[in-house]
Structure 1
Amino acid sequence: MAHIHKEFLIDNSPANVWEALREVGAVHRRLVPGFVTDTRMEADTRIVTFATGVVVHELIVDIDDAARRVAYAVVGGSLAPKHHHASMQVLDAAEGRSRFVWTTDVTPDELADSIREMVEQGAHVMQNTLKATTRAPAAG
C-alpha cells in the first residue's frame, strides 16, 4: 500500500480554511478551482470531475468540526483503486496561518505516482486559492 503525505502552510486563519474545506460539495469553487471543474453530492458520495477529465466518486467518511478534519474514500469513477482512503486536516500554525495536512493511502502501488502528482497540483492550487480569501480579523 502506498502512503502519500503532504503538509503545507496557508497564509489564512484555520477558521477560514476549515470553512472552505468542510464545504465538501464545493471543492471546485472553494478549494481547487480550475483543477477540479465540478463537484456534486449524491447522498454521502461526492462526485468530483478534474480538469483532466478524471471523475471520482468519493464516499465522505467523516466531517469532524472539532478536529477540523474531512475523511473520504474513492469508491468509484474512472480512477479505480483497490483501496483509497484520504483525510485533510487544518491545524493552527504561527502568526494566524494554517498548517494543512493531507494523507492518502492507496492500492495498488502503481497508482501512487499519479495520485501523488494530483496531490501536489491540488496543494499548489489550494494554497493560492485560500491565501486569496479574506483573512479573519486578529483577536484583541
Structure 2
Amino acid sequence: MATIRKEFEVPLDADTVWKALRDFGAVDRLAAGFVTQSVAEEEGAVRLVTFFNGMQVRERLVGLDDAQRRIAYTAVGGRATHHNASAQVLETGPGRSRFVWITDLLPDALAPAIGQMMEQGAQAMRTALAPPAR
C-alpha cells in the first residue's frame, strides 16, 4: 500500500487552521484553485469534489476529532481500490501550526499521480491559509 505524506507550516494558530479544515463540505474554500467545487451530500457526510483538471471524486467523512484537530475521509469509487486519508493540525508555537496530510491507497501505481495532486493541493492550502499581506 502506498502512503503519501505532505506537511507544511502555517503562520496561523492551530484553532484558526482547524476551523477551515473541519468544514468538510467547504474544501473548495480551503484549497481554492485546486478544488473548484465541493458539494455536500447525505447531510454533510459525503462531498462531491471537483478538481481544477475536471476530475471528480466522491469522499465520505470517516471521522472528525475536534480535540485532536484531525479529520479522516475515504474516496468512494474511482480508480483506487483502496483510499483513505487524514489531515491534522498541530500547534507548533504562538500563532504557528503544522498541517499534516496523509493518504494511503492501492494500487501503488497511482501513488505518483496522487502525490503530484496532493502537492498541488498542499500549495493551494498554504496560499489560502497565509495571512493577508500588510
TM-score > 0.5, shorter chain as reference? yes
Structure 1 residues 35-50: aligned runs within 5 Å? 35-43=34-42, 44-50=45-51
Name the CA distance, whole Å, in 1 between partners of 2:127 and 2:74: 25
Query: Aligned letter for 1:67?
Result: Q
Structure 1 residues 94-105: aligned runs within 5 Å? 94-105=93-104
What residue in structure 2 maps to residue 86 of structure 1? 85
1:41 deviates by 1.2
Question: What TM-score do you get using the length of structure 2 for normalisation?
Answer: 0.93
1:96 deviates by 1.7
Query: Aligned letter for 2:98?
Result: R
Query: Aligned letter for 1:106?
Result: L
Residue 27 of structure 2 is aligned to residue 8 of structure 1: no
What residue in structure 1 maps to residue 118 of structure 2? 119
Name the CA distance, whole Å, in 1 between partners of 2:49 and 2:89: 21
Question: What TM-score do you get using the length of structure 1 for normalisation?
Answer: 0.89
1:124 deviates by 0.8
Structure 1 residues 53-92: aligned runs within 5 Å? 53-76=54-77, 79-92=78-91
1:132 deviates by 2.9
1:95 deviates by 3.5
**Local SS of the residue matching 2:126:** helix
* Structure 1: stretches of 5+ with no match in the other structure: 134-140
What residue in structure 1 maps to residue 31 of structure 2? 32
Displacement over 6 Å in runs of 4+ = none
Name the CA distance, whole Å, in 2 between partners of 1:70 and 1:80: 23
**Local SS of the residue matching 1:131:** coil
Identity of matched residues, % = 51
RMSD over aligned Cα, in angstroms? 1.4
**Local SS of the residue matching 1:34:** coil
Query: Aligned letter for 2:79?
Result: A
Aligned residues: 131
Instruction: Encode CA deviations 1:50-109: one digit per residue, 9 max, x unaligned.
Output: 010110011100111011001000012xx3200000000000012321101111100001
Name the CA distance, whole Å, in 2 between partners of 1:39 and 1:62: 18
**Local SS of the residue matching 2:28:** helix
What residue in structure 1 maps to residue 18 of structure 2? 18
* Structure 2: stretches of 5+ with no match in the other structure: none
Query: Aligned letter for 2:21?
Result: L
Query: Aligned letter for 2:131?
Result: A
